[in-house]
Structure 1
Amino acid sequence: MKRKPLLLFAFPFLILSILAGERVATFLLGTYPASPTAWWIWLELRPLSTMLWQQVNLWLGGSMAVDAAILAAVSIVCWMACHTKRSAFPFLANHVALILAGLMIAVGTHSETASTIAAFTSPRGLPYSLAIDFTLKNSLVLLLGTVACAYCHIAFLAEARDRSVRAIRILALQRDL
């Protein structure tokens, strides 16, 4: 199996486009507040990204230009990481995107650990509970992230197997010569 950089970049691109789409929708709402399409897009993307961007805007001073520059820089870094040969950077890009998606979902749905929705007991016997909103959209994003990470693992292991087979054949040829 040959590693396909476009497939490795697909999930980080999805997460970055959700973040960028929410920023663009927010900008359009400021420019055209009566547009029903801008409101619809913003309301669809808001649960996945707004709470995260509120924190980012608080830290950076609320500049849309800085937000766009950050998204562009992260996109370029992820694209370059997914095109590197024989490295673990695609793992890093996909796994960071999955962690970011999980964080966005947890923060965006106001997840808390002090609810009575799902109670667990830790190995030491301390009870705690966790509430996360697993809507269809959130579950689909997490499922796509898990599939993207699995593809990274499969592609990397297939390349490692091919390299080891090639190394064994080279050693056999050297021995025969």
Structure 2
Amino acid sequence: MMHHTGQKLDPVQIREASMDDLATILELNHHLHENEPLVAVDSRALEVWQSMIADQRLHCFIAEYNREPAASCMLDIVPNLTRGIRPFGVLQNVVTHKDYRGLGIGAKLNAYALDFAWKSDCYQVLVQTGRPEVVVFYERLGFRPDKIGLVAKPEWTEK
């Protein structure tokens, strides 16, 4: 007879995304850019997703809360010839479904991604946000304002 040890299962489980997760990722990403239309699961999205899943540098993580997709992020491990030939990470498309915000899920997901980056020998991980109120969230996870992030977009640079 098994005895209950009193340990509660963590309702947050994190895993790497698979081919079957395209619709889930598109739905979660919609919470990142709610003013944009939901991206359809079509041949173009499937083709891009297949290339992302096949790319050994890209890691898309999904956090599930009580087995429901609640958050996701993308970590790109970039090969590098400086810093002792150590790669660096770029954390992007960090999003928590609006129904699951404030539960610590995003913090657990980002801590998982950082741990993955450190285990991959990254010497640093970069993240950017266009929302000043999110900076405190990242600072609590160990990020610091260290460099100035700049962005170029084609419509800004075309003459």
- Same fold, judged at TM 0.5 (above): no
Point out the structure with the larger strand share: 2
Q: Under a length normalisation based on structure 1, what TM-score does the superposition of the two structures give?
A: 0.33
Normalised by the size of structure 2, how large is the TM-score? Answer: 0.36
RCO greater where, 1 or 2, for CA within 8 Å and sep 6 or more? 1
